[in-house]
Amino acid sequence: MRIVTPDLSAALERLDAAADPAAERFDAGPRFSGAVAVLPSAFNPPTLAHEHLLRRALAAFGLQQAAALLTTRNVDKGLYGAGLADRVGMLLALNAEWPDLSVLASNKARIIDQAAALSAAFPAVRFDFVVGFDTLERLFARRYYSDMEAELAPFFTRHRVLAANRGAAAAEDVRQWIDRHSGRFAERILALEIEEHPASLSSTKARERAAAGEETDDLPAPVARYIAEHGLYR
């Protein structure tokens, strides 16, 4: 079944073209309430690491709802690989087997701007941002701000960051980095320890295997089926 529809494509085009921070929801799940674990990513494609991150965040911090937030823009990269509509399509394919996973998109690259978009779209909800170690480092990279502390302050007043180990950076490395580099925001950043195998996965390697027509165990089954059915990355 083709998940991507003309309406979905048009909605993403409108979202990406909006000048102000904006967010949209594409699944038909229940309304958000309380706190939601949200994972911002390009999802090109969604991997088992993304799924594991969200499931671990729910279990570790007692959260009830999870959301994948497609970022239509990236602070360092352009758009390549799968189109935005197919990235939402892959997430909706995952949602079909994990109905508690919400599928969102935002037109902003920086996490603080994504947070502003989510707060405007869902004002009664607190979003806890789930990030890998590399994204945590980018959150505190001064080159992305005019005045980093002043711009981060309202974000951390409303949101927490759940930061996970990734690749060569172990959970203890994440904890030490938080202590050394996050200053007065340290109490709003919680270390999230995930298993070694998902921590080693990357969307880049998954794309390369898909492009070569190779089987891979890096992807949730519904995502792998979507890629095969629609010939993505070939």
Quick check: is 1 in a domain? no
Average the pLDDT over each of 15-19, 85-89, 173-177, 181-185 and give the range with the smallest value.
Answer: 15-19
Instruction: Specify the number of domains making up the chain.
Output: 1
Name the pLDDT band for 77 (thresholds 50, 70, 90).
low
Q: Which residue range(s) make up the domain with 207?
A: 6-230
- pLDDT over 80 (residue 4): no
Pairing relationship of beta strands 126-132 and 161-164 according to DSSP bridges:
parallel
Q: What percent of the chain has pLDDT over 90?
A: 74
Q: What pLDDT is attached to residue 198?
A: 86
Q: What pLDDT is attached to residue 75?
A: 57
Measure CA of the first residue to CA of the last residue in the chain; give whole Å: 20
Quick check: is 130 in a domain? yes
Digit-coded pLDDT (tens) for 78-124: 667 789 999 999 999 999 999 999 999 999 999 999 999 999 999 98
Q: What pLDDT is attached to residue 190?
A: 97
Q: What pLDDT is attached to residue 1?
A: 45
Within 10 Å of residue 83's Cβ, how many Cβ atoms?
15
Q: What pLDDT is attached to residue 33?
A: 86
Name the pLDDT band for 31 (thresholds 50, 70, 90).
very high
Quick check: is 135 in a domain? yes
Q: Which residues of 123-153 are buried (b: 16+ CB within 10 A; e: fewer)?
A: eebbbbbbbbbebbebbbeeebeeebeeebe
Calculate mean pLDDT across residues 144-160: 97
Quick check: is 217 in a domain? yes
* E strand spans, 26-180: 35-41, 65-71, 101-106, 126-132, 161-164
Q: What pLDDT is attached to residue 74?
A: 67
Q: What pLDDT is attached to residue 2?
A: 52
Digit-coded pLDDT (tens) for 111-121: 999 999 999 99
Looking at the DSSP bridge assignments, the partners of residue 189 are 161
- pLDDT over 90 (residue 49): yes
User: Which residues lie closer than 8 Å to 159 by C-beta, 6 or more apart?
Assistant: 115, 126, 127, 128, 129, 188
Digit-coded pLDDT (tens) for 196-225: 888 888 899 999 998 888 888 899 999 999
Digit-coded pLDDT (tens) for 123-149: 989 999 999 999 999 999 999 999 999
The CATH number given to whatever domain includes residue 184 is 3.40.50.620
